């Protein structure tokens, strides 16, 4: 469910016409619906009532401070993958005690900052990381709450660039090697072994790979128990997909996903940690852009926008499909012609859609990329000297700019020319 719809012929986010936001902040901009975020969070977390489950929103999908603050108010924790994300989550009001930290390359600075902040859990992904963490925690005179992230070698039917739970992926500890590492973890100073974690990939629309991964995890938890290693937490990661195309299957229902977790872990007395990202934020956001030119090429026509892959990289990076909606509703009988929708960046891959069937859209008009609330703004760059775009949060009939566009002076101020370059060459 989302709260983007045409009303009186104009695409609205909740009660606000996107044209009004464009007049106020200029284009391109990201817009998020607080009602959609809230709805998704509630439906997901309510599916786990009675299961001792904690929802830690995956900050990598959308790290906007207002978005995180909204989720924090609903009781969300955070799954972070860098010191930067940890600080973002804490600054937005998510208590450290509700933060879990994953990632294959956590540095000394990041691990010690996490320990100093008192976060709930560090998901360790290798033996060298475990040994390093042990040393840092012991030297700080503290105990690191640890889960070992295992790689269950499950194939998830998703884009190869976003699968994480196969043997050849860099993530997690091979499930067959895991028992030895759990044994080691118990003996190391500074390590408080709390649990096991898994995350098999993202944009998964079928529950079967989750069922397989959970079954392997259950087996592991029971095998460890049999040798006296009692894990009290099981972190299941995220990965639930969302429909991008109208023909895509719908998201797996949270109730059905919760039934799987109950089946696999319900009798084990463990606390579950869930790290959904895309499912919460995906269709809570859109990227709105203006048509700069319509160019008639020799073999095809181009709709040239003022946003590029620096603003929304998913189509260029993963050949991802995003619905492109004219903000002004076209006449029902408007002819639909194939057109390439492109950005202004000097790269041939700066294409949002090839030969998309669209009604005529004139220069100056607005279009909206749907399902851009996850892995949208967070993956933006300033390539081609383009500033990061504003982000706007809508609530009912009001909207707030929750990230403003930097001024050219602010962008320039980040860089310095050393003195030796300022003097005339001698």
Q: Which residues are catalytic?
A: 346
Minimum separation from the CB atom of position 88 to ligand LYS (A): 16
Residue 314 binding target from ligand LYS, ligand PLP, none, CB below 5 to 8 Å by type: ligand LYS
The DSSP secondary structure of 261-294, one letter per residue, reads HHHHHTTTTPEEEE---HHHHGGGEEEEEEEEEE
Return the exposure string of 211-247: e unless at least 16 CB atoms fall within 10 Å of the residue's CB, then b: ebbbebbbebbeebeeeebebebbbbbbbbbbbbeee
Would you say 257 is a known binding-site residue?
no
Alpha carbon of 266 to those of 46, 68, 122, 359: distances in Å? 16, 29, 23, 51
Query: What whole-number distance in Å separates Cα of residue 288 and Cα of residue 46?
Result: 32
Stretch that binds ligand PLP, among 31-39, 250-258, 276-284, 316-324 (CB under 6 A): 276-284
Least distance in angstroms from the C-beta of 426 to ligand PLP: 53
To ligand PLP, the closest distance from the beta carbon of 216 in angstroms equals 17
CA distances from 375 to 59, 124, 231, 313, 393 (A): 10, 24, 32, 9, 16
**Whether the bond into 28 is cis, omega within 30 of 0:** yes
Q: How far is the CB of 163 from ligand PLP (least distance, A)?
A: 9
Contact positions with ligand PLP (CB under 6 A) in 75-134: 79, 102
Q: Which residue, 71 or 316, has its beta carbon nearer to ligand LYS? A: 316
Binding-site partner at residue 238 among ligand PLP, ligand LYS, none, CB < 5 to 8 Å by type: ligand PLP
Give the distance between the most distant pair of CA atoms in the chain. 78
Which positions from 301 through 360 interact with ligand PLP, judged by CB under 6 A? none
Q: Which of 17, 63, 238, 315 binds ligand PLP (CB under 6 A)?
A: 238
102 binds, among ligand LYS, ligand PLP, none (CB under 5 to 8 A by kind): ligand PLP
Count of residues of this chain found to bind ligand LYS when the rule CB under 6 A is applied: 8
The two beta strands, 301-305 and 285-296, are antiparallel
E strand or H helix that includes residue 340: strand 337-342
- Residue 277 is labelled as binding a ligand: yes
Considering only residues 149-188, where is the footprint of ligand PLP by CB under 6 A?
Answer: 164
User: Does residue 314 interact with ligand LYS by CB under 6 A?
Assistant: yes
State which residue, 3 or 60, has the beta carbon closest to ligand LYS: 60
Q: How far apart are CA 219 and CA 216, in angstroms?
A: 5
Per CB under 6 A, 202 contacts ligand LYS: yes
Least Å distance, CB 277 to ligand LYS, is 7
Footprint of ligand LYS on 333-362 (CB under 6 A): none
CB 198 within 8 A of CB 172: yes
Closest CA to 130 of 142, 153, 146, 150: 146
| Residue 314 counted as an annotated binding residue | yes
Among 16, 99, 162, 370, binds ligand LYS (CB under 6 A): 162
Question: Which of ligand LYS, ligand PLP, none lies near 240, with the C-beta cut-off 5 to 8 A by kind?
Answer: ligand PLP
**Hey, is 373 helix, strand or coil?**
coil
- How far apart, in whole angstroms, are the C-alpha atoms of residue 207 and residue 360? 40
Q: How far is CA 48 from the centre of its chain?
A: 21
For residues 36, 39, 42 and 46, what is the CA-based torsion angle, rounded to 10 degrees? -130
Taking the least distance from each CB to ligand PLP, the nearer of 59 and 66 is 59
Nearest to 27 by CA among 420, 316, 366: 366
Residue 277 within binding range of ligand PLP, rule CB under 6 A: yes
CA dist list (Å): 118 to 95, 194, 343, 357, 365:
9, 14, 44, 52, 49
State which of residues 17, 145, 209, 239 lies at the interface with ligand PLP (CB under 6 A).
Answer: 239
Q: Which of 77, 172, 276, 285 binds ligand PLP (CB under 6 A)?
A: 276
Binding region for ligand PLP (CB under 6 A): 58, 61, 79, 102, 164, 199, 202, 237-240, 275-279, 374
Which positions touch ligand LYS (CB under 6 A)? 60, 162, 164, 202-203, 314, 318, 375
């Amino acid at each position: 469910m989302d709260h983007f719809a045409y009303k009186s012929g104009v695409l609205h986010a909740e009660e606000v016409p996107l044209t009004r936001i464009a007049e106020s902040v200029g284009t391109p901009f990201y817009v998020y619906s607080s009602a959609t975020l809230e709805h998704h969070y509630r439906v997901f977390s309510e599916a786990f009532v009675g299961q001792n489950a904690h929802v830690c929103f995956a900050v990598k999908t959308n790290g906007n401070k207002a978005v995180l603050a909204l989720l924090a108010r609903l009781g969300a924790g955070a799954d972070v993958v860098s010191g930067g994300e940890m600080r973002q989550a804490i600054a937005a009001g998510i208590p450290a005690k509700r933060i879990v930290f994953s990632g294959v390359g956590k540095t000394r600075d990041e691990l010690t900052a996490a320990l100093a902040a008192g976060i709930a859990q560090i998901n360790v992904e290798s033996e060298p990381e475990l040994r390093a963490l042990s040393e840092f925690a012991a030297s700080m005179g503290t105990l690191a709450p640890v889960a070992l992230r295992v790689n269950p070698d499950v194939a998830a039917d998703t884009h190869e660039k976003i699968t994480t739970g196969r043997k050849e992926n860099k993530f997690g500890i091979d499930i067959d090697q895991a028992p030895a590492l759990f044994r080691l973890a118990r003996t190391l100073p500074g390590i408080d072994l709390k649990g096991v974690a898994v995350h098999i990939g993202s944009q998964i629309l079928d529950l079967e790979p989750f069922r397989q991964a959970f079954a392997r995890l259950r087996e592991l938890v029971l095998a460890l128990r049999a040798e006296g290693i009692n894990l009290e937490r099981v972190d299941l990661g995220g990965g639930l997909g969302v429909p991008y195309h109208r023909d895509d299957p719908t998201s797996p229902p949270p109730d059905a996903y919760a039934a799987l977790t109950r089946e696999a872990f319900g009798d084990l007395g463990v606390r579950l940690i869930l790290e959904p990202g895309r499912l919460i934020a995906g269709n809570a956001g859109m990227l709105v852009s203006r048509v700069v030119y319509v160019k008639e090429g020799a073999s095809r026509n181009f709709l040239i926008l003022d946003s590029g892959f620096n603003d929304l990289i998913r189509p260029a990076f993963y050949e991802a499909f995003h619905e492109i909606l004219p903000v002004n509703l076209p006449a029902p009988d408007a002819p639909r012609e194939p057109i390439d929708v492109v950005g202004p960046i000097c790269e041939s891959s700066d294409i949002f859609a090839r030969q998309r069937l669209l009604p005529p859209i004139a220069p100056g008009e607005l279009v909206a990329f749907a399902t851009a609330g996850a892995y949208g703004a967070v993956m933006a760059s300033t390539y081609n000297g383009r500033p990061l775009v504003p982000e706007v949060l809508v609530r009912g009939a009001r909207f707030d700019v929750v990230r403003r566009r930097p001024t050219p002076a602010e962008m320039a101020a980040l860089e310095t020319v050393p003195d030796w370059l300022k003097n005339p060459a001698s």
